[in-house]
A and B are shown apart, each in its own frame.
Chain A
Amino acid sequence: MESEAVHIFREVAGEFEKPVILFSGGKDSIVMLHLALKAFAPAPVPFTLLHVDTGHNFPEVLAYRDRAVARHGLRLHVASVQEYIDAGKLRERPDGVRNPLQTVPLTEAIQQLKFDAVFGGGRRDEEKARAKERVFSLRDEFSQWDPRRQRPELWQLYNGRHAPGEHVRVFPLSNWTELDVWQYIAREDIELPQIYFAHEREVFQRNGMWLTAGEWGGPKDTEPVHKRLVRYRTVGDMSCTGAVDSDATTLDTVIAEIAVSRLTERGATRADDKLSEAAMEDRKREGYF
């Protein structure tokens, strides 16, 4: 699977003019960057990075992001949700959840900076609409995904043809599962932001999830704050990414914990996927990853 992902990175480097890697500082994008580094070594990665900053990111993750960019001599573009809100181009949702607001800054950054291939860390095991996603996924000039008009993907022959203004989303980790990602991180000894490991944190409960207090609107007076030993399975916007109770402080104990978990990563910790039965499909149609 490492070979398959590297093959995908090299195909994009060979066929596109201006690819970019979506990099959030989360484990999937960290693994993507690691694979890209291996694919082109000893030459540098021939792509820039793009981060869609919701304005509610975990500070540990932003620090990790900046360290990684500096260490590998990469160039980082940031598309800021906060700037869009401040400029009146986006409106804060009443529930304070900012994940769905990422779509506009993301798609506008792709159009303005003229990226023709955009790597995402999406995996087909995450969600059933993602299970239908291609490795090379064509998006129209409005960045929309149409599940009925996808190109069939045969053998390892990826078709990256696109018209000016269109772009291709590329998912090199399509065939990986959450456990694969963790086992690869362990095998390659890849550094991660500390919030992936158990630590004491002040959290409060909302919709059955442990959320971290922040400037985005929590906790309310009715939501008492607890000090708990927790870790994160996914890293996204603070407003909708929940922590799980855990005492796993090392890669080995995290892997053991995931191997016996009876909850999916998204089911356990992502509020935005629970909005409706087809929440992911609907957001993807609009241009979300």
Chain B
Amino acid sequence: MTTTTLLRFATAGSVDDGKSTLVGRLLHDSKSVLTDQLEAVRRVSADRGQEAPDLALLTDGLRAEREQGITIDVAYRYFATARRRFILADTPGHVQYTRNMVTGASTADLAVVLVDARNGVIEQTRRHAAVAALLRVPHVVLAVNKMDLVDYRETVFAKIAEEFTAYASELGILDVTAIPISALAGDNVVEPSAHMDWYGGPTVLEHLETVPVTDEFTAAHARFPVQYVIRPRSAAHPDYRGYAGQIASGVLRVGEAVTVLPSGRTSTIEGIDALGESVDTAWAPQSVTVRLKDDIDISRGDLIAPTALAPTTTQDVVATVCHVADRPLTVGQRVLLKHTTRTVKAIVKEIPSRLTLDDLSQHPAPGRLVANDIGRVVVRTAEPLALDAYAASRRTGSFLLIDPADGTTLTAGMAGDAFTEHEWTA
């Protein structure tokens, strides 16, 4: 809406690492908390006999969360500074909620991984880093929290930062920024710390405001999944036939030769209507309506791509998945696969391996995946899909597996290889 850029980011941390406090501190110190919200927090904190307002109460929105003092579910927060707008996916760090971090990370440009300075890099930290790498989150911030409890010592921070950065680069994460903070005391969250002269880097907020948002969507090949066919058949528009959709990646141009998949029919883009305005070019993630020169049979679920750069179609999908449902995914199971705007019948052919996120070791042929498991699957689909590798496009390389019986979302899938290739030469 405004000219400032938008950064979508996710937070991750173990229970009691102080994640809710960090988020509360970010919102509070960036003056994104309004008076009535703060009043409510003060009132509840005082009712519980706490001296200072408990900033975690700003984010734990559900009864069960407040009762147990933990974050159960992903919550979305909105705040803005003069430089940028932010959408924060606040994800729980509890082991059993790995799927929630996957959810938050799926749309994030940046992930903040929180570590308790007293404990250093633990299993859960490695798990969070691996999820960020798996979901191809472009930037990772390591926030070493509770520095006040280790006397703000540089050596403590340096050791943790070094260990984490080495592990992250093994995973293929390109950009890691480590920041020593105290969420409780407010050191280096929004305001620079007076206790850590040895640290010369940005505060968490400064980094969030300045990290470049790479436009991954426009850099990739053009992909246009057809959502809906617009045919008014009215007196004013007797012959209008437009294909409505959101450009998943790349740029579309009037006059371009395109192929429609999976049918393989070809045509030329005659016009692009960008929500009421006729344009010559449009790019991801714009929602537009495309008109083609030839009257060919196109419906929801088809993919329009430049003929020169069209993806190949396949009925055998090899992917890394995160299982998000409570009931398991098993070999031989019949499922629905939702990829962009297309939902097709599918069967789970193989589960070649399950991944242990802690040490990235693989367990061959587990037979099934249970909630929060990450593994490799091979899925055979009833119809061909125009699928890209997830590494090439987060939008056209991702899919869901759905239970056909009751519609439950079972599994989040990422086509192609996960991490860097050498990790997966099983």
Contacts and interface: CB of A to CB of B under 8 A. Distances in A.
- The answer to whether A and B belong to the same complex is yes
Interface stretch (A144-152, A198-206, A212-220, A221-229): A144-152
Given A6-B246, A263-B35, A14 B227 contact: yes
B1 A1 contact: yes
18 contacts: A3-B246, A3-B285, A7-B227, A10-B287, A14-B228, A39-B275, A43-B232, A43-B240, A124-B75, A124-B76, A125-B78, A132-B61, A147-B73, A151-B409, A152-B102, A156-B395, A264-B36, A264-B37
A268 interface: yes
A275 B240 CA distance: 52
Nearest to B336: A161
B357 interface: no
B76 A152 contact: no
B276 A38 contact: yes
Nearest to B72: A148
Contacts of A180: 1
Interface in B46-83: 58-64, 66, 72-78, 80
Contact of B37 (A150, A154, A267): A267
B106 A155 contact: yes
Contacts of B165: none
A281 interface: yes
A42 B78 contact: no
Contact of A159 (B1, B227, B338, B398): B338
A40 interface: yes
B275 A6 contact: yes
Interface of A: 1-4, 6-7, 10-11, 13-14, 38-44, 124-125, 127-132, 138, 147-148, 150-157, 159, 161-163, 174-175, 177, 179-180, 183-184, 187, 261-264, 267-268, 277-278, 281
A119 to B, nearest CB: 15
B179 to A, nearest CB: 25
Contact of A156 (B78, B87, B246): B246
Contact of B275 (A4, A38, A267): A38
A42 B59 contact: no
Interface of B: 1-2, 34-37, 40, 44, 58-64, 66, 72-78, 80, 87, 99-100, 102-103, 106-107, 227-228, 230-232, 234, 236-237, 240, 244-246, 273, 275-276, 285-287, 300, 324, 336, 338, 340-341, 394-395, 398-400, 402, 406-409, 412
Contact of A163 (B66, B76, B407, B409): B407
A7 B409 CA distance: 20
Contact of B236 (A42, A127, A174): A42
A39 B87 contact: no
Contact of B412 (A7, A41, A152, A184): A152
Given A175-B87, A263-B36, A43 B246 contact: no
Contacts of B227: 7, 10-11, 13-14
Nearest to A280: B61
Contacts of B61: 127-132, 281
A152 B100 contact: yes
A245 B100 CA distance: 42
A135 to B, nearest CB: 10
Highest count of chain B CB atoms <10 Å: which of A127, A150, A159: A159
Contacts of A150: 73
A24 B52 CA distance: 41
Contacts of A163: 406-407
Contact of A132 (B2, B62, B246): B62
A277 B228 CA distance: 42
Given A132-B74, A184-B1, A154 B102 contact: yes
